[in-house]
Amino acid sequence: MKNLNILLLLFSAISLSSCEEVIELDLKESKPRLVIDASLIWYLDTSGNNQEIILSKTTGFYEEEINPVTDAEVVVETINGERFIFTHQEQGIYTNTNFNPVFEKDYTLEIIYQDEIYTSSSSFVPASGIDYIAQNSEGGFTREDLEVEVYFTDPVDENNFYLFNFRNISESKISLEIYEDEFTNGNQVSVSYSNEELMENDEIHITMEGISPAFYQYLFILRSQGGNNGGGPFQSQPATVKGNIVNETNPENYPFGYFRLSQADSTTYIVQ
């Protein structure tokens, strides 16, 4: 029911039309933690051999640079003893080029960093493909913005969860949308992307990923914490959002981030 969140945003928009100003506010800085962005994506009709995992550390809230972790050991293993070693390239990006994606198999992530072992395990979540992409000019609350609609058919026999990633290459902006079929199970439905700045000839890279209910929940919480939803009388309570990766050596020093494996469809769309 993410759409109802729009409603909360709207409430904020009406009630908060008053006066907003950017202020200087000193913030305390918490001790840095390891951040693991381990999203292994297997695009439809590809081998899925090339994968990457990104490691960094948390920084001060106003810092502009990320703080990459370059000296960790990163391995993904399967129960049959397959071992995929991810090697560091640059800026905390670790890659593997002979990854072997298979459904219904458990993959285990193991990271050794500063003598502490971080682990997690997960398996691939399938995704149906994008049916087609449509466009209209009735997006946003004003119904005047350009809007890109991604149509897909939800499988009827299960509860599905999706992550849509809209990357506006021209504007270099990313928008994540999560979708659950609770109220639309088995239907052909659309997820749309629009904002005031969307213009003709903008190049939008769209991916649609199948995700687990737990990862959906994780993203749901992240979104409610994230930038644009903060503040206002309808703000939800800020919280520490923990993912599915455990520090085996020192549980107190838990990491942020998530290990997940998704099948995905992707396409590029030029706004008309």
Partner 1 sequence: MKFNLSALLLLFFLIFSLGLEAQETYTLNGIITNASSNETLIGVNIIIPEEKKGVITNEYGFYSIKLPEGTHIVEISYLGFESLRKEITITQDTTLDAALSESSENLEEVVIKSNTEGLNIKSPEMSVNKLSINTIQKLPVVFGEVDIIKSLLLLPGVSNAGEGASGFNVRGGAVDQNLILLDEATIFNSSHLFGFFSVFNPDAVKNIKLYKGGIPAKYGGRVSSVLDIYQRDGNSKEFEAQGGIGIISSRLLAEGPIVLDKGSFLVAGRSSYAHLFLKLADNPNSAYFYDLNTKLTYTINEKNKLLFSGYFGRDVFDINQNFLNTYGNSVFNLRWNHLISDEIFTNLSLIYSDYYYGLTLNFVGFNWDSGIKNLNIKYDFNHYLNDAFQLEYGMHNTYYEFNPGEIAPVDENSGINYFKLTNKYALENANYFSVEHKISDRITAQYGLRFSNFFRLGQNRLNEYRNNNPIIYNAALDIYQEAEPISQRSISRSEVIKTYSNLEPRLALAYNFNDHQSVKASYNRMAQYLHLISNTSSPTPLDVWAPSGPFIKPQILDQFALGYFRNFQKGKYSLETEIFYKDIKNRIDYVNGANLIANNNIETIILNGKTRAYGLEFLAKKNEGSLTGWVAYTLSRSEQQTPGRTPIESGINNGKWYATNYDKTHDISITATYDYNKKWDFSANFAFQTGLPVTYPTGQYNFNGISIPVYGDRNSNRLPAYHRLDLSATYIPKPEKQDGFRSSWNFGIYNIYNRKNANSISFRENDDTGRNEAAKLSLFGIIPSVTFNFEF
Stretch 93-152 residues interacting with partner 1 (CB under 8 A):
138, 141-143
What are residue 148's DSSP bridge partners? 135, 193
> CB 78 → partner 1: shortest distance, Å?
20
Q: Does an H or E element contain 117, and which?
A: strand 116-122
What are residue 109's DSSP bridge partners? 76, 120
> CB 22 → partner 1: shortest distance, Å?
5
**Nearest to partner 1 of 82, 121 (CB atom):** 121
> CB 231 → partner 1: shortest distance, Å?
3
- How many of the other CB atoms lie within 10 Å of CB of 238? 9
Residues between 194 and 233 that touch partner 1 (CB under 8 A) = 214, 217, 220-222, 224-228, 230-233
Q: How many residues bind partner 1 (CB under 8 A)?
A: 86
Residue 105 and residue 79 in contact, taking contact as beta carbons nearer than 8 Å: yes
Residues between 4 and 43 that touch partner 1 (CB under 8 A) = 4-8, 10-11, 14-16, 18-25, 27-30, 32-33, 35, 37, 39
- Residues 74 and 109: their CA atoms lie apart, in Å, by 8
Q: Which span sits near partner 1 by CB under 8 A: 76-84, 106-114, 127-135, 184-192?
A: 184-192
Residue 221 and residue 239 in contact, taking contact as beta carbons nearer than 8 Å: yes
**Nearest to partner 1 of 72, 189 (CB atom):** 189
- Residues 220 and 43: their CA atoms lie apart, in Å, by 23
